[in-house]
Amino acid sequence: QLQFVESGGGLVQFGGSLRLSCTASRYTLDSYYIAWFRQAPGKGREAVSYISAGSGSVNYADSVQGRFTISRDNAKNTVYLQMNSLKPEDTAVYYCAGVPGRLWTGDSRWSIAGEYDFWGQGTQVTVSS
């Protein structure tokens, strides 16, 4: 059973940066569509960004556009989320999620949590004001 492992979260001040990593053991991620979601206390899960298999397409939520960058390093079997200019409203648990390319239903559905079959346990990001 594929399970993602997230890392890189922590406590950072307003305007700071963090880089989150998502990897999986025993599975090669280059054929997977990978997304980052987040969930703040008392709120629903929100799509943050996604990257297609082969890195041909990326997308971002309006709230992070221009501040966050998603990328993948297939040699390291890792997907990254570089987060710059962090704000207190970015505080949340960040989750990595993925689905094999053969099951992908289209880029227009990238922000729907139900499109992803595999999830990680999450990593906490806290931004202080």
Question: CA Rg, the chain, in Å?
Answer: 14
Predicted pLDDT at 43: 95
Tell me the pLDDT tens digit for each residue of 14-28: 999 999 999 998 888
Kindly give the parts of the chain with pLDDT less than 70: 55
Residue 106, classed as helix, strand or coil, is coil
C-alpha 62/C-alpha 34 separation (Å) is 18
Amino acid making up residue 10: G
Predicted pLDDT at 1: 80
Q: Which residues contact 19 (CB under 8 A, 6 or more apart)?
A: 8, 80, 81, 82, 83
